[in-house]
Amino acid sequence: MANMAPNKNPMPTQAPEVRAHNFDEVALGYSEATALDEAMRCLNCKNHPCVTGCPVNIHIPEFIAKIQEGDFEGAYQVIQQSSSLPAVCGRVCPQETQCESKCVRGIKGEPVGIGRLERFVADWHNAHATQLPDPVPSNGHKVAVVGSGPSGLTCAGDLAKKGYEVTVFEALHTAGGVLVYGIPEFRLPKAIVQKEVDNLTAMGVKMETNMVIGKTLTIDELFDMGFEAVFVGSGAGLPNFMNIPGESLKGVYSANEFLTRSNLMKAYESDPVTPIMKGGKVAVVGGGNVAMDAARTALRLGAEKVYIVYRRSLEELPARKEEVEHAMEEGIDFQLLNNPVEILGYNNPDDRRDPKNGFVTGMRCIKMELGEPDEKGRRRPVEIPGSEFELEVDTVVMSIGTSPNPLIKSTTEGLDVNNRGGIIVEENGATTKKGVYAGGDAVTGAATVISAMGAGKVAAKAIDEYLSGK
């Protein structure tokens, strides 16, 4: 009998006043009983509209039917046919605009908690499957993957399963891309990503960290070393700034730097090697997932007050609703319809050795109102003349978007990019340079984990066809 309850089973979470002071995961996951109850809300629709909302077309009703039967490993096997990172996507996919937005149960209530069920199944599998995959015999072909984010890991995994000898070249000292350097532990524990990396190395994939392609080696040198194809999944890690006065003051960060220092360089330790802030007041400029992550990280690093400064209203905030709600519950102060015009700093010309010289002291903002819709249909924010005010802050984190880094393009002959720096590819991920494929944020600009994964899959298939002459 289907469970006709109009609402999803709520996700158990740490209490806001507790979690605001630790880096442990906020959402605790469904129990078996709750997962079964939620699975019973699925009507197993014949035309399964939910599947069309998933960028990798996971067979959603099939995996949920397995949960209904209590066959959790069977459910995992169904998901595995389409996605290699279910524990990640079950946590961070924007389900509300993807699979769940198409669920028929959403017409008269809340959709089935597809993402929560996917996370449950993946966590159940990870808790019970202790065996790493066996190495796959080599087919004699070598492929290089640049970048170890979701696109690179997926491409590497799919090729390794077919017997390709894959080497992943990663610029940072840890593999995982944004999944480890960007998304904080309290949303996506690093151990989950590490498990995926361990699975790949068990299959025979080599991980070469601290290798900046375009500096340490070029793409052409990779071909000289015997790699027959290269997949570029180097992401979009180049931060955008507002170009307002004061952005070079000490205490102004890009969200990428702020999060990388916290996530990978352990700025949260009591005596960190690279401290990023000491308490005080923090303003995060922007309204996306990255801004929410930076604001909530600042809170956990001990900020006494954290502002989100965003130029539109709550309705237009691009971050996931759940993340915004969590941030509000934790006490982040949303300064909506406000825009920074200048970052203010301490300046003592009489004593240049004054240790406070050059540090942020505040931010001058202007109030905004919403005008006519822009080309994307979003109402354009317009400044209200004479409404400027000052916000007293010690740290400013700019989180207004990122672009693909031009390094690989500038060191690779024949690799074309568009006017936003994204690598130009055909439908199958082939670039303008023979043997080089690309996907994920390096092509689209900042997007989502699941779309990057999908692009890695498409390119792996094309590389296999190219090298096997199919």
Instruction: With beta carbons less than 8 A apart as the criterion, state whether 162 and 185 touch.
Output: no
Site for ligand SF4 in 115-144 (CB under 6 A): 115, 118
Kindly list the strands in the beta sheet with 142-146, ordered across the sheet, starting from the edge strand earlier in the chain.
Answer: 206-208, 165-169, 142-146, 229-232, 436-438
Rounded to a whole number of angstroms, the minimum distance from the CB of residue 130 to ligand FAD is: 28
Count other C-beta atoms under 10 Å from residue 73's C-beta.
12
Nearer to ligand SF4, 46 or 470 (CB): 46
**Rule CB under 6 A: is residue 45 a binding residue for ligand SF4?**
yes
448 contact choice in ligand SF4, ligand FAD, none (CB below 5 to 8 Å, kind-dependent) = ligand FAD
- How many amino acids of this chain bind ligand SF4 (CB under 6 A)? 27
Rounded to a whole number of angstroms, the minimum distance from the CB of residue 261 to ligand FAD is: 13
Backbone angles phi, psi at 308, to 5 degrees: -105, 125
Rounded to a whole number of angstroms, the minimum distance from the CB of residue 215 to ligand FAD is: 7
**Rule CB under 6 A: is residue 112 a binding residue for ligand SF4?**
yes
Span near ligand SF4 by CB under 6 A; candidates 29-37, 107-115, 287-295, 328-336: 107-115
Span near ligand SF4 by CB under 6 A; candidates 52-60, 191-199, 297-305, 379-387: 52-60
Burial 16-38 (b: 16+ CB within 10 A, else e): eeebbeebebbbebbeeebbbeb
Q: How far is it, in rounded angstroms, from Cα 375 to Cα 133?
A: 49
Q: How far is it, in rounded angstroms, from Cα 281 to Cα 218?
A: 43
Q: Which residues bind ligand FAD (CB under 6 A)?
A: 92-94, 146-152, 169-172, 177-178, 182-183, 211-214, 233-235, 237, 259, 289-290, 293, 405, 407-408, 440-442, 446-450, 452
Instruction: With beta carbons less than 8 A apart as the criterion, state whether 294 and 259 touch.
Output: yes
**Rule CB under 6 A: is residue 60 a binding residue for ligand SF4?**
yes
Site of tokens 């936003």: 420
Considering only residues 114, 183, 337, 365, which one is a binding residue for ligand SF4 as defined by CB under 6 A? 114
Considering only residues 40, 104, 238, 341, which one is a binding residue for ligand SF4 as defined by CB under 6 A? 104
Q: How far is it, in rounded angstroms, from Cα 438 to Cα 424?
A: 8
DSSP-derived 3-state class of residue 59:
coil
Distances in Å between the Cα of 327 and the Cα atoms of 16, 185, 255, 402, 435 are 9, 15, 16, 22, 44
**Rule CB under 6 A: is residue 163 a binding residue for ligand SF4?**
no
174 contact choice in ligand FAD, ligand SF4, none (CB below 5 to 8 Å, kind-dependent) = none
**Residue ranges in contact with ligand SF4 by CB under 6 A:** 42-45, 48-50, 54, 56, 58, 60-61, 83, 89-90, 93, 95, 98-99, 103-105, 112, 114-115, 118, 450
